[in-house]
Amino acid sequence: MELNYTTAQQAFRAEVRAWLAANVPATPLASFDTEEGFQQHRAWEARPNEGRWGMLTSYRAHPSESSERTIPCRAPVARLDSIERPRRASPRTASARPISGPRSDDMLTPKQIQAQMALYVQLVDAGDIDGILALYAPDATVEDPVGTPVHQGIDAIARFYREGLGRSRARASLEGAVRATHNGYGAVPFRVELDWDGRHCSIEVIDVMEFDTEGCIRSMRAYWGEPNLTMRDLS
């Protein structure tokens, strides 16, 4: 039995997490047993409805409200089939991976590419190398930074991440919106903070990725250089 998430499922999870991060109240709501808390909970539960992520069931008036001021019931409005999900993967063949040209119906949408690239940054931040490798196609390439030797194939890419990220206690955070196209390309600006050889390094990076029709990373090129690197001794 395969218990790991597929690339498409990981993209959908990232999309849900991004929505929650942007919408969950920053402070706890007041008790539902109070007038203030009742109104806060009612307002919050409408948010998933507005975002098409959930549904609202019947409401009754709070005990403190008069019988004339009842809240009408709402029918469920968020249907699971109304939520955009990653497309089903197609067979993995070289011919199924267009390099350029107009978008194919089998390719990821720009929104799905944004979710995949945001997930990549989250996995770098978590130091989850196995999770990162699961995003790559078996014959993918990595050029990090651009101008250095290319790592070809999943074994070479695994060595690159384990010898670098695996030894550096890296943290990563987005520095702006993920840019995405309709034909399988995206660019993500982010910052990596890491400890290396007794020094703290801060690197401003832009990763450009190409995705195949299965939603896997076909190539990754990292744009950064000396002007984007800050180092200081660990105190």
Q: Which residues are catalytic?
A: 120, 144
| 8 A C-beta contact, residue 183 and residue 105 | no
Residues in the chain: 235
Which amino acid is it at 64? Answer: S
User: 108 exposed, middle or buried (CB, 10 Å; 0-12, 13-18, 19+)?
Assistant: buried
In the 8-state DSSP scheme, what is residue 30?
A: P
| 8 A C-beta contact, residue 98 and residue 213 | yes
| 8 A C-beta contact, residue 136 and residue 157 | yes
CA atoms within 13 A on the CB side of 12: 13
